[in-house]
Structure 1
Amino acid sequence: MVRLDVIGNISRDLTRYPDHRGGVRLGGAALFVSLAATKAGRRAAPVCVLGNDLAHLPEAPSLDTLDWSARLQARGTSTTFDLEYDLQGELVEVRTDYGVAEALTEHALGHASTHPRATFHVCCRRPLDVEAVLAQLAQTTAQFSVDFFLPSAEAMIRAAAPWLSAAGTLFVNASEYLLLDQAVDCDTLREVVVTDGPRAAVVHSFGRRVASAVPPPRYAHEVSGAGDTLAGTYLAHRLRGATIAQALAEATAAAARYVAAPSIPIPAPRRG
């Protein structure tokens, strides 16, 4: 079975909403994409850097379905995110301390060089050097997909632009799609999945709309990570041979279940 190697952060998050939802939980795009892919039947490995505070994650029973062999353990603290949302689930402000994730680019480049035929998903978010990582992947026979994070999307899309036509799938939200359309000719892109919160998600292939799906209605307990869940689920089903329409339907349903579920707590280290 082809493994999905997910380059990105695993973090300690604080999410905040005006109605007092949210709280401290485990986060990071590499975690959510990998978990979603695994739940959808595809082995997945976070290519990440963990600090001392999250060194115990591979031993946590709730996370033992992941392949942790691609992680790097480093001395220091893991990435932390403070994410503030409005009542509609739109991100208002983000504060970040990258911690040991400053070593992510070097780790990702080393991992990719030893796995030139792997299948990668690249979470194009700071502090990753997107230009260096995508250039290396594009020069090999590796298959890769990418996603973005709105606060840094404009800069990251510009940095990634020369290699986006080589990507199998791009994941963007409606606002990011407008930035993408300004940076590249979307008619050259093989597969672009565009999400829009509770509204219909669509897929464009070489500039043509080829599928759409409306997420099942759910009360949104937590929206942070919903896009990553959709991406991981979609990729897993596409790798298993599903059509674009089938994969999108599964992915939107998984994202809807995710927003209605409790957040993932930070597991306590095992004693003894």
Structure 2
Amino acid sequence: MERLDVIGNISRDLTRYPDHRGGPRLGGAALFVSLAATKAGRRAAPVCVLGSDLAHLPEASGLDALDWSARAQFEGSSTSFDLEYDLQGELVAIGTHYGVATCLTEHALRHVDLHPRGTYHVCCRRPLDVVAVLDRLAGNGTDFSVDFFLPSAEAMIRAAADWLPKATSVFVNAVEYRILEQVIDASALPEVVITDGPRAAVVRCFGRQVASAVPPLHHPREVSGAGDTLAGTFLAHRAQGATIAQALAEATAAAARYVAASSLPIPAP
């Protein structure tokens, strides 16, 4: 089975909720997608840049199952996010320090040039230059999927619009899907996975709904990363021959388990 190379950030996060949940933890879409895919049986490699403060992650317990061969390390601080949520799990404020992630685009393009026939998932988040990365992938005829992050979704969807019909899968939440429909004809997209928190997730192929699944009910402890967990799980099961409906059921169940579990602590060096 082809390895999944996940282009995106790995970060030091601080999550905050009105009921005092949250706290410092390990984060980043590239990490959560890769971990979920690995747990679901598919080898995955984060194509990321780590600062000196997270250089020890490849040896950390629980993270050593990932393929870290696609990472780059730079002197300086890793990406960090301050994420504030309301009681319904909606993001209300975000603070960002990109750190060494400003080097992510250059590193990702170099990796794609070295592995033009790989299979990629692109986490369309700042500071990644999605135009440059998607243009390189599409130009190579490479299989790739994409997802977005609501605070930057409109800008990123508009930037990525020309390449979305070539993506094998597009992952969005319900709000992002409404933005997507304003930017591009959604019936031109081969596969769109739409999540909606605790409500039913659906898959649309060329505009037609082909599957839906309601996540199992779990009391949420941490919601940041749930969509990434769903994406990684879905992609892993599809790569192993699961139907769309089977993959969506597995992915929603994995995301529900994720929100009920404890956050990933930042491992000590």
Counterpart amino acid of residue 31 in structure 1: L
Aligned mates of 2:141, 2:239 — CA distance in 1: 16
Aligned mates of 2:211, 2:242 — CA distance in 1: 13
| Partner SS, residue 77 of structure 2 | coil
Aligned mates of 2:131, 2:52 — CA distance in 1: 28
| Partner SS, residue 5 of structure 1 | strand
Aligned mates of 2:7, 2:29 — CA distance in 1: 9
Counterpart amino acid of residue 92 in structure 1: V
Partner of 2:25: 25
Partner of 1:35: 35
Partner of 2:98: 98
Counterpart amino acid of residue 129 in structure 1: D
Aligned mates of 2:92, 2:41 — CA distance in 1: 34
Poorly superposed stretches of 4+, deviation over 6 Å:
none
Aligned mates of 2:253, 2:198 — CA distance in 1: 11
Aligned mates of 1:164, 1:240 — CA distance in 2: 23
Partner of 2:248: 248
Partner of 1:15: 15
- Give me the TM-score of the superposition, normalised by structure 2: 1.00
Aligned mates of 1:33, 1:184 — CA distance in 2: 25
- Give me the TM-score of the superposition, normalised by structure 1: 0.98
Root-mean-square deviation (CA), in Å? 0.4
Q: In the alignment, is residue 149 of structure 1 matched against residue 149 of structure 2?
A: yes
| Partner SS, residue 32 of structure 1 | helix
Counterpart amino acid of residue 211 in structure 1: A
**Shift of residue 141, structure 1, vs aligned partner:** 2.5
The correspondence of residues 1-272 of structure 1 with structure 2, limited to 5 A, is: 1-269=1-269
| Partner SS, residue 100 of structure 2 | helix
Aligned mates of 1:262, 1:250 — CA distance in 2: 20
Counterpart amino acid of residue 253 in structure 2: A
1:241-264 CA distance string (max 9 Å, x none): 111000000000000000000000
1:32-69 CA distance string (max 9 Å, x none): 00000000000000000000000000011210000000
Aligned mates of 2:185, 2:67 — CA distance in 1: 36
Instruction: Name the % identity.
Output: 77
| Partner SS, residue 75 of structure 1 | coil
Counterpart amino acid of residue 111 in structure 1: H
Aligned mates of 2:220, 2:172 — CA distance in 1: 20
Aligned mates of 1:206, 1:92 — CA distance in 2: 32
Aligned length: 269
Aligned mates of 2:29, 2:20 — CA distance in 1: 23
Aligned mates of 1:153, 1:202 — CA distance in 2: 19
1:197-227 CA distance string (max 9 Å, x none): 0000000000000000000000000000000
Counterpart amino acid of residue 126 in structure 2: R
Aligned mates of 1:240, 1:142 — CA distance in 2: 19
| Partner SS, residue 145 of structure 1 | strand
Structure 2 residue runs without a partner (length 5+): none
Aligned mates of 1:141, 1:236 — CA distance in 2: 21
Aligned mates of 1:2, 1:64 — CA distance in 2: 19
| Partner SS, residue 61 of structure 1 | coil
**Shift of residue 107, structure 1, vs aligned partner:** 0.3
| Partner SS, residue 64 of structure 1 | coil
